[in-house]
Amino acid sequence: MPTLARISISLEEELLEKFDRRVREDGFPTRSEAVKALIRRALVENEWERGGPVAGTVVIVYDHHKHDLLHQLMHIQHDYGDVIISSQHVHLDHDNCMETVTVRGDAARIRQLAAALKSVKGLKQQTLVMGATA
């Protein structure tokens, strides 16, 4: 069990009220847990901004009847084989497919991949999930 440090912070009452409301809505058991989650997320986002080794996933949803789109997505993924660990394809319904592309490597390179995927016309969704440092 890690040693816990105790800190105290001062903030405007209005900000605290908004934060407490958010803590309740998000289902955090305590303020401390909510603050820890915020700090961790900020640190992860910072890692992704600075570059360096990170891991995450890119989720894309598209209609597989659009053959040109399918080829473009395939092409891009082959070009970024150096940072793609795996990709999982799920047939959502008759028309729609969801792919979860798991990535690991340099943050800047992964951002390039995410941007390349986003640039494909006709995608229904493209979301980059920033994971913790690899």
Q: How many residues bind Ni ion (CB under 5 A)?
A: 3
The distance of closest approach from Cβ of residue 115 to Ni ion in the complex, given in angstroms and rounded to an integer, is 23
Pick the closer one to Ni ion by CB: 64 or 104.
64
User: What's the closest the beta carbon of residue 76 comes to Ni ion, in angstroms?
Assistant: 17
Closest of 48, 129, 57 to residue 88, by C-alpha = 57
Residue (64 or 109) nearer to Ni ion, CB: 64
Residue position matching structure tokens 């998000």: 26
Q: Which is nearer to Ni ion, 46 or 88 (CB)?
A: 88
Pick the binder of Ni ion from 73, 97, 117, 120 (CB under 5 A).
Answer: 97
Under rule CB under 5 A, residue 75 binds Ni ion = no
Q: Which is nearer to Ni ion, 41 or 89 (CB)?
A: 89
Question: Least distance in Å: CB of 62 to Ni ion?
Answer: 9
DSSP string, the chain: -PPPP-------HHHHHHHHHHHHHHT-SSHHHHHHHHHHHHHHHHHHHH-SEEEEEEEEEEETT-HHHHHHHHHHHHHTTTTEEEEEEEE-SSSEEEEEEEEEEEHHHHHHHHHHHHTSTT-SEEEEEEEEE-
Among 42, 91, 108, 129, binds Ni ion (CB under 5 A): 91
Q: Which residues bind Ni ion (CB under 5 A)?
A: 64, 91, 97
